[in-house]
Amino acid sequence: MATAAAALIARARRDIQHHFFSEDAVRADRAVAFTPSNAIEGRQFKRMLERGTIRREGADRYWIDVVAYDVDLQQRHRRVRIVLILLVIVLAGALIALEVSGGHTITR
């Protein structure tokens, strides 16, 4: 279930990013309108606004701050990398502990 939710969130982010890049809305003077197509996209859009990845220009026009988007992407990748490294360390520790304790042997 968590994997499906993560996939939906990632797709919403990609769709939002694609909208702005395809419209070349990468500067304030090129801002465009945006309406989220579903609730997940709406939440991601709000998050991107709060993080400064998407900038508001006027009442209903927005643009993507490419530098902020790149920084946000790098931070997300760094967090994932840290989690994966910790997971490898925990699994390695568990395997070592299992081996030291005699392991699980099958005798016939």
Return d(Cα 19, Cα 75) in angstroms, integer. Answer: 22
Which residue type does 30 have?
Answer: R
**Is residue 102 predicted with pLDDT exceeding 90?**
no
- Interval 19-43: pLDDT, tens: 999 999 999 999 999 999 999 999 9
What is the DSSP code (8-state) at residue 63?
E
90 confidence band (pLDDT: 50, 70, 90)? very high
Per-residue pLDDT, 97:
87
Return d(Cα 65, Cα 63) in angstroms, integer. Answer: 6
103 confidence band (pLDDT: 50, 70, 90)? low
